[in-house]
Structure 1
Amino acid sequence: MSVVTAAATRAQRAIQNRLATRYRLRGEIDQIDAVDDPVAIARLLATQEFPWGMTQALSFALFRTYAVPSIGELLYDTRQFTENTQKRYDDTVLLLDAPVEHGFDSPAGRAGIRRINQMHAMYDISNDDMLYVLSTFVVCPVEWVNAYEWRTLTEHEVTGLTNHYRRLGKHMAIKEIPETYAEFERFYNDYEERHFSYSAKSLAVADATLDLLGTFMPYRLLPRPVVRRLSFALMDDRLLEAFGYPKPTVVERVLARGGLKARGLAIRLFARPRTEPLFGRQTPQVRGYPNGYRLDELGTFAPGCPVPHGVSTATDEEQHSA
């Protein structure tokens, strides 16, 4: 064997070993029961395999819901999403992340769901709107990961994510939850086609959210108008029309979407797999609780004491330090 051939063989083996390491977690996920333990699949995907991508996807999922006037206008009327945008972002991440990190049946998971349900109970929200929000949690991460991450999701992983959010929906007492991803996708598209429309209040909530995005890294390194244009370039025409946002140019779409695809390719070829989970409470975007937080004190409350009965009863699992 020549020196050149030997070098080529070593290089090929190195690539194979790197790819095997890169795809190791996918193999582990394939061994998890997507029906009995979907939370474990959701946890690995969100905290180790695609932590940045899943965060972006879920943020974008919530952003889409503003384009339904009955949702966007309610959020505007609470004033929380326009006047306390960072806190609303933090609280949403932390409450939704609690069952992902600890499981639905843990004290922290129950506390997170209980707080979400208490907030929703203060308002007259239709089951259809709740189901639509749930459908965005199912569909948007799959679409984002498959479009921009370093690999696409397997059918097994999609089933696991779907079942995780079906379980979330049941804990939130949502009715008529779809059984499969395909059914969620059909509901999602049909609901947007029927309900997306312009509302000045919804637009105000969307603009406040885009302003918050501009404070996160790496976006804060760019001028705010550039961040907005790049955000528009990632939106589909249906969403742009609902908010009355300008349609981006072909060049803007290519730059924004191509940049995300290039990031995914670079991760697949060069990055080492994450060996430790990155939970929502550990992300740099969550900035409002430098001294820690208690799940039962997050979110909004009816007028009066923000802690039920004036006493905090959170367990150690429900309390975290930053």
Structure 2
Amino acid sequence: MAYPVPEITSRYSIRDYILTLDPVKDHQQICYLSSCYDFPWDFTRALEFALFRTFGVAKGTPLLQQTGEFIRRTRKRYDDTVLILGEILENGYDSPRGKAALRRMNQQHARYSIGNDEYLYTLSTFVLEPIRWMERFGWRPYTNHEKTAAFTYWLEMGKRMNIRDLPNTLEEMERFNVQFEREHFRYTPSNEAIATPTRDLLLSMYLPRWLWPVGKPFVYALIDEPLLRAVGFPNPPAWLRRVVEGGLRLKARIQRLWAPRKRPYLFTAARYPSYPGGYQIEQLGADRG
């Protein structure tokens, strides 16, 4: 889908244009502009940590461990997730490619017995973690238009995934998210078994293997204590948290001075190790080794 894009003359052109749109009616366009122009790096990091939060849910990780997808095929599972969500974000969930990606995602989920509350919790992290990340580390926070658009976008995604009991407001979704974590975050060996290879995959994107021991505490510094306990990771020293968070805030201040992005970052056009020769939507998922 070719979304209209304004003339980009300043760092805030996309934000200012978004503010002229209707956050409900134009929610797909707003999410596309925000994620692919203003926040591609931060949006990706936020969704990585959103997915990571699901590993603290003790009742859900035994199934994830049993499938082996997050342990034996961690990189492919990551690539498949990014590509499926990228297809939907870039093309629209009612476009031919968006429908095909949604169908493929629903086919994969249908193979397993997953509770509605677990689906709803995962959906809530995809709404809330980008909002929280931009508040802490984005070069600007999300506007209220972007927050409303993100909630509406994932609400529509939830309907197309047949998730029940969807919240009516962003505030209701946040209450559910916080209460769910309070009730279901607790340590189990399966949590740690799933979280460890994903942590190592994230480290591998930035560091050679021999530097992973140095990098691990920096990853832990971005994770809150309840989730660290739930996945069996150590709590880093307070000074390291301050250093890591300060570094990301410094990055954000510098980023405000950068020239604006005039072409979108397309997640589907990036290079993915699992698909060196390109991919078809029908390939995405757990079927191929």
| TM-score above 0.5, yes or no | yes
1:57 pairs with one of 46, 69, 91: 46
Residue in 2 that maps onto 1:211: 200
Aligned match for 1:227, one of 192, 209, 215:
215
1:136 aligns with 2:122: no
- 1:241 is displaced (CA, Å) by 1.3
Q: Deviations over 1:121-146 (max 9, x none)?
A: 11111100000000000110000011
Say which SS state the counterpart of residue 69 (structure 1) adopts.
Answer: coil
Map of 1:53-202 to 2, 5 A cutoff?
A: 53-202=42-191
Q: 1:276 aligns with which of 260, 263, 277?
A: 263
Tell me how far 1:75 sits from its aligned partner.
Answer: 1.3
| Deviation readout 1:277-321 (Å, 9 max, x if unpaired) | 11222345x3221211011121024xxxx7xxxxxxxxxxxxxxx
CA distance in 1 between counterparts of 2:50 and 2:200 reads: 17
- Greater Rg over alpha carbons, structure: 1
Checking the alignment, whether the CA contact within 8 Å between 2:56 and 2:230 is kept in structure 1 is yes
1: CA distance, partners of 2:208 / 2:140: 27
Deviation at 1:191, TM superposition (A): 0.2
Q: Deviations over 1:45-102 (max 9, x none)?
A: 1111100000000010001001102222211110111001110000010111111010
CA RMSD in angstroms comes to 1.6
* Cross-structure match for 1:311: none
**Structure 1 alignment gaps of length 5 or more:** 1-19, 307-322
| TM superposition score normalised by structure 2 | 0.93
Structure 2 residue 25 is matched with structure 1 residue 25: no
Deviation at 1:221, TM superposition (A): 8.7
Name the SS of the counterpart of 1:291 in structure 2: coil
Provide closer, same or farther for how the CA distance between residues 283 and 60 of structure 1 changes in structure 2, counting only shifts above 3 A: farther
Instruction: Output the amino acid matched with 2:102.
Output: I
Pairing 1:292–2:278 present: yes
Per the alignment, in what secondary structure is the counterpart of residue 223 of structure 1?
Answer: helix
Aligned residues: 281
For residues 30 and 222 of structure 1, the distance between their equivalents in structure 2, rounded to whole angstroms, comes to 46
Higher relative contact order (Cα pairs below 8 Å, separated by 6+ residues): 2
Aligned partner of 1:289: which letter?
Y
Structure-1 separation of matches of 2:235 and 2:161: 36
Relative distance call for 1:195 and 1:78 in structure 2 (3 A) is same
Matched with 1:251 is 239
1:261 aligns with 2:249: yes
- Rounded to whole Å, the distance in 2 between the matches of 1:254 and 1:67 is 24
Question: d(CA) in 1 for partners of 2:160 and 2:180?
Answer: 22
CA distance in 1 between partners of 2:114 and 2:93 (Å):
23
CA distance in 2, matches of 1:252, 1:222: 21
**Offset, 1:222:** 7.9
**One-letter amino acid matched to 1:287:** P
- Determine what percentage of the aligned residue pairs are the same residue: 41
TM-score (norm 1): 0.84
In structure 1, give the amino acid aligned to 2:260.
P
Q: Which residue of 1 aligns with 2:5?
A: none
The unaligned stretches of length 5 or more in structure 2 are 1-8
Structure 2 counterpart of 1:297, which letter?
A: Q
* Alpha-carbon distance between aligned partners in 2 of 1:144 and 1:249, rounded to the nearest angstrom: 21
Shift of 1:220: 4.1
SS at match of 1:261: helix
